[in-house]
A and B are shown apart, each in its own frame.
Chain A
Amino acid sequence: MRPLAVAGVLLASAFAVTACAPPGGTAAPEQSERPDFADGAPTCGDEDVELSMYAETGFPLPSVLAEEFTEQYPNVTFDIREDQFAVLTQNAPRVLQDSPPDLMRLPQMSELASGGLLMDLDPYAEAFGWTDWPESQLEQLRVDDEGRRGDGPLYGMGLNFSMTGVFYNTALAEQIGMTQAPRTLEEFDGYLQAAKDAGITPIAQFNGGATGGLLFPLQGLMASYGETAPINDWIYQKADATIDTDANLAAAEHLQRWVEAGYFAPDVNSMDYSQMMSRFIGGESLFIFSGDWESGNLDTQMPGGAGFFLMPPLEEGGAQGAMSAPLTYGISAFAENPDCAAFFFDWVATDEQARTITVEVGGSHPMGPANAFMPEVAEGSVTEATLKAGTAINEQNGAMDFIANATGGIYAQSWTPNVQRLVAGEVEAAELLSAVQADYENELAD
C-alpha cells in the first residue's frame, strides 16, 4: 500500500496547490475606455508611438503597409510578431488579454468578440465615415451579443477583401481549345472532360488532412445553382437557416459528378494547399479553385501563364457568387494605442499609396468607399482578372462568407471529413448536406 499512500499524499498536495475556483472566473483586466471623438477623427498624434502588431506568417502585406505608414508618419513605428494561422487561432484569446496587441490578425472572431476581448470599432466607424462604405464589406465583421455574425457592433476591419474563383493555366487551356473563360457551367464541364481526354489533370485541389478544399468548388457551385443570401444566413446562424436546400443539393450532386468523372487529381484527399499551388505553377493541372490572394504570386511565378474566372452560372449571363471575405484584423479590447491602430485601418483603406500596395502586394481588392482610387494594374495579368471579377461580384451583390466559418468546429469536424468521404465514395451528396446540417444544429444547441 505504500506507493498508493505516497501517490495519495502527492495528489493531495497537488489538490492543495490547485485552487478550486471554476476556470475563467477571474476578473478580466480593465478594458480601454470607449473612445469619444467630439473633436474630430482620432489620429496617431505627434508623440512617438509604437504599434504592436500580431500578423500571419507568409503574408507580406501587413509589414509592407507598416513600412509605408512609418514613412508617412515617422513618429509611428511597428513591433510586428508573426505566427502561422493555426498558432494565431490557438493563441488569440490569451494574447488579446495577456499581451494585448494594437493590431491582430483574427481567426474565427465571434467568440473573441462576444467574450469581450475585442474593441468595439463602431465609434471609429462613425468618426472615420466607414459607415458610408458598401455595407457588404463590414457585415461579416459585425457580431451581436449572442456571438452571431452579420449584425451588431463592428469588431474588426479588413486590410483588404479577398475573393475566390477558378485559376487556369493558359498554355494547357489552349491545348484543349479553351480560348476564353467558360460562360456556363455546362461549358466548364466540357472543358473538364476535354482536359481529362487529353491526359491533363483537370483540377488539382487541396483536400487533405484537416483542410477540406473541396468546399471551394462546392460553394462556387452553390452560388451557380441558388442565391447567396440564404447561404450567408446559414453562416451567420440566423434562426431556422439550413444548408440542406434543393439548390445546394443540386450543387453537391454536381460536385459528386466531378469526383466520379475523375476530374480531380487521384490524390486529392492527401493533397495540401502548397502541393496544389506547386503543381499548378509547375503546369501539372489545368484548373485550381483558390482566391485572389494568389494573384500577385501567380503574376510573379508564371507571368502571362495564368487566368482567372468566377464559377460560371447555369445559364449565360446568370447570377454569380463567390466566397469573399475581409483579411480580418482587430484591436484588442485592452490595447495601448487603439486610436492610432484605428487610424492605421482608415489609412490602409483610403491612402492612394496604401491602396496600391494592397493591390500589388496583397493581390486583393482594397476596403473602402465604392468610388475610391484604384491603382493601374498590368493588362492581361491575373491581378487585373481578379479585380474585375471582384467588381462583378460587388455589382451583383454575390459575395458570401466561407461556409467553413459558420461555427467554430464545423470546418474541421464536419465539412472536411464529409467532403473527404464524398471523394472516397462513402457518402452521397444528400447525406453530405444532411450530416453537416445535423452537426451545425448540434453545435448551436451546445
Chain B
Amino acid sequence: MSTSEQAAAPPRPDGAAAGRGPSAARRRTLRRRRWSWSVAAYVLVLPAAVFYIAFVLVPIVRSVQYSMYRWDGIRPATWAGFANYVEVFNNATLVGSILNAFELILYFSIVPVVIGLFAANLIRAIATSRLATVARTVLFLPQVIPLVAAGIMWTWQLSTDGMVNQLMKLVGLGGLTRAWLGDTQTALPAVGVIGAWVQLGLCLLLLLAGMTKIDPALYEAARIDGAGPVREFFSITLPSLRQEIAVALTVTVISALASFDIIYISTQGGPANSTLVPGLQIYYLAFFEREIGTASALAIVLMVLVLLVVLPMQRILRGRDG
C-alpha cells in the first residue's frame, strides 16, 4: 500500500485510527475486494483445474496405483508392491527399450537443432530473397504432415527398391544398399532419420523467430570490429538464441523419449527389438500381454526419466535468463 493512499485516507469519524494508515473500514473494503478478486480468479481457473485433475493428474495417480499391482485388466488385481519396478530394471528387453529412446535423442533432438541452426542462419542471411521463403516452407513442411503419413512415406523410401537405395546406386554406392528398416544395425538410425526430418521444421521455425529478435546493430558493430560470419554466428547469434534452443531441445527430447507413432508405423519395434522404445513397449505390455502393472510401472519410469532429463536441461540452457 502506497504512502499517498495512506495520506489520502479520510479520517475515521471517531478519530480512533487517525494517523495510523488506512482506516479499518477501508482495510476491510480492500480486503473484501482482494478476496472477491481471488474468488473470481479461482472460479475462472476452476474449469481448467477440474479438467487437469480429471484427465492428467487422476490418470497419473491411477498409473502409480496400477504399477503396484499384478493385474491382467480382467480379474481382480493382486498387490505386488515394487515388483513391477524391479521387473522394469531387470528385464533386458525393457532396459534395452529405454536405451534405444536415449539413442533417439541424438536423431530427434541434436541433429535437427544443429541443422536447424545452420539452415536458419543461412535463411537469415538471404532473408530478403524469395529463396528464403521457399526454403522456410519446404523445411517446415514435414511438421504439418501427420506423423503416421511421414512414417508410411519413409518406409517406402527406405525399402530395398526405395528412393534412398536408388540414389545410392546412382552415385556408385550400390554395394551399401540394404533394407534400412529391416537390418538390426541400421533400423534405429533409419527411424532416427525420419524423426530428424519431422523435427527439423519446428526447430527451424523457433530459431528463425529467435533470430528476428536480435538487434541488427550488434551485427553491424561486430562487422566494424572485423568479425566474419563464423565469428558473428558464435559470438552473437548462438548466445542470443539460448532460450529458443532450450525450447527446441526440450520439445524434441520429450518426443524422442516418448516416441511411439513413427516407430509403430515404420518398424513396430523390430527387427529383433532393435527399435523398441518404452512407448511401444508400454502399449504391447498393456494391450497384448495384459500386464497392466508392468506397463504402468514402465510408464511411470518413463515419466520420471523425461523429467530427470528435461528439468536440469532447462536450468542449464536457460542460465541466468531462467
Binding site for B on A (CB under 8 A): 10-11, 13-15, 17-18, 20, 22-25, 89-90, 93, 97, 111-112, 115-117, 207-211, 265-271, 408-409, 412-413, 416-418, 420-421, 423-424, 426
Please pick, from A18, A97, A209, A426, the residue contacting B270 in the complex, using a CB distance under 8 A.
A209
Closest to A439 in B: B93
Taking the nearest CB of chain A, how far is it from the CB of B268, in angstroms? 3
B2-10, B68-76, B101-109, B128-136: which lies at the interface: B68-76
Taking the nearest CB of chain B, how far is it from the CB of A277, in angstroms? 15
Question: Considering residues B65, B66, B160, B182, which has the most beta carbons from chain A within 10 angstroms of its beta carbon?
Answer: B182
Please pick, from B79, B184, B290, B292, the residue contacting A111 in the complex, using a CB distance under 8 A.
B290
Question: Other CB < 8 Å A-B pairs besides A115-B74, A210-B270, A267-B160, 9 of them?
Answer: A13-B57, A22-B71, A23-B77, A89-B287, A112-B74, A208-B268, A210-B269, A269-B272, A420-B270
Binding site for A on B (CB under 8 A): 49, 52-54, 57-58, 60-62, 65-66, 69, 71-79, 93, 159-160, 178-184, 187, 267-273, 284, 287-292
Contact B160 A93 (CB under 8 A): no
Contact B267 A270 (CB under 8 A): yes
Contact A209 B58 (CB under 8 A): no
Give how many A-B residue pairs fall within 8 Å (CB-CB). 139
Question: In the bound complex, how far is the Cα of B52 from the Cα of A418, in angstroms?
Answer: 43
Please pick, from B60, B182, B267, B287, the residue contacting A14 in the complex, using a CB distance under 8 A.
B60
Question: In the bound complex, how far is the Cα of B65 from the Cα of A22, in angstroms?
Answer: 8
Residues of A within 8 A of B181 (CB): 208, 270
Contact B65 A210 (CB under 8 A): no
Contact A18 B65 (CB under 8 A): yes
Residues of A within 8 A of B78 (CB): 22
Please pick, from A93, A207, A412, A426, the residue contacting B74 in the complex, using a CB distance under 8 A.
A93
Contact B272 A421 (CB under 8 A): yes
Please pick, from A117, A208, A270, A408, the residue contacting B290 in the complex, using a CB distance under 8 A.
A408
Contact B76 A14 (CB under 8 A): no
Q: List 14 A-B contacts (CB under 8 A).
A: A14-B61, A22-B69, A24-B72, A24-B73, A111-B74, A115-B74, A208-B271, A210-B270, A269-B179, A269-B182, A269-B272, A408-B288, A420-B271, A421-B184
Contact B289 A408 (CB under 8 A): yes
Question: In the bound complex, how far is the Cα of B76 from the Cα of A22, in angstroms?
Answer: 7
Taking the nearest CB of chain B, how far is it from the CB of A123, in angstroms? 23
Please pick, from A10, A270, A418, A421, the residue contacting B57 in the complex, using a CB distance under 8 A.
A10
Contact B182 A23 (CB under 8 A): no
Residues of A within 8 A of B289 (CB): 408-409, 412-413
Please pick, from B75, B184, B268, the residue contacting A426 in the complex, using a CB distance under 8 A.
B184
Question: In the bound complex, how far is the Cα of B184 from the Cα of A421, in angstroms?
Answer: 8
Contact A267 B69 (CB under 8 A): no
Please pick, from B54, B183, B284, the residue contacting A413 in the complex, using a CB distance under 8 A.
B284
Taking the nearest CB of chain B, how far is it from the CB of A247, in angstroms? 25
Please pick, from A15, A90, A270, the residue contacting B61 in the complex, using a CB distance under 8 A.
A15
Question: In the bound complex, how far is the Cα of B308 from the Cα of A403, in angstroms?
Answer: 41
Which 3 residue pairs across A and B have the least CB separation, nearest first? Answer: A270-B182, A267-B179, A209-B268
Question: In the bound complex, how far is the Cα of B76 from the Cα of A61, in angstroms?
Answer: 36
Contact B287 A17 (CB under 8 A): no
Contact A269 B271 (CB under 8 A): yes
Question: In the bound complex, how far is the Cα of B60 from the Cα of A18, in angstroms?
Answer: 10
Residues of A within 8 A of B269 (CB): 209-210
Residues of A within 8 A of B93 (CB): 413, 417
Residues of A within 8 A of B290 (CB): 93, 111, 408
Closest to B182 in A: A270
Closest to A209 in B: B268
Contact A424 B74 (CB under 8 A): no
Closest to A414 in B: B93
Q: Given the known inter-chain contacts A420-B184, A424-B184, please indicate yes or no for A266 contacting B288, CB distance below 8 A.
A: no
Taking the nearest CB of chain A, how far is it from the CB of B95, in angstroms? 14
Contact A24 B53 (CB under 8 A): no
Question: In the bound complex, how far is the Cα of B57 from the Cα of A93, in angstroms?
Answer: 25
Taking the nearest CB of chain B, how far is it from the CB of A345, in angstroms? 24
Taking the nearest CB of chain B, how far is it from the CB of A285, in angstroms? 13
Taking the nearest CB of chain A, how far is it from the CB of B103, in angstroms? 18
Closest to B161 in A: A267
Taking the nearest CB of chain B, how far is it from the CB of A325, in angstroms? 18
Residues of A within 8 A of B267 (CB): 208-209, 270
Closest to B293 in A: A23
Taking the nearest CB of chain A, how far is it from the CB of B249, in angstroms? 22
Q: Given the known inter-chain contacts A11-B57, A210-B269, A424-B271, please indicate yes or no for A271 contacting B288, CB distance below 8 A.
A: no
Closest to B287 in A: A90
Question: In the bound complex, how far is the Cα of B78 from the Cα of A418, in angstroms?
Answer: 32
Residues of A within 8 A of B79 (CB): 22
Contact B58 A17 (CB under 8 A): yes
Contact A22 B77 (CB under 8 A): yes
Taking the nearest CB of chain B, how far is it from the CB of A397, in angstroms? 32
Question: In the bound complex, how far is the Cα of B75 from the Cα of A115, in angstroms?
Answer: 6
Closest to B294 in A: A446
Residues of A within 8 A of B183 (CB): 269-270, 424
Contact A417 B57 (CB under 8 A): no
Question: In the bound complex, how far is the Cα of B289 from the Cα of A25, in angstroms?
Answer: 20
Question: In the bound complex, how far is the Cα of B270 from the Cα of A210, in angstroms?
Answer: 6
Please pick, from B53, B74, B178, the residue contacting A13 in the complex, using a CB distance under 8 A.
B53
Taking the nearest CB of chain B, how far is it from the CB of A409, in angstroms? 4
Contact A409 B288 (CB under 8 A): yes
Taking the nearest CB of chain B, how far is it from the CB of A405, in angstroms? 13
Residues of B within 8 A of A266 (CB): 160, 178-179
Question: In the bound complex, how far is the Cα of B289 from the Cα of A167, in angstroms?
Answer: 32
Residues of B within 8 A of A18 (CB): 58, 61-62, 65
Question: In the bound complex, how far is the Cα of B268 from the Cα of A23, in angstroms?
Answer: 29
Closest to B93 in A: A413
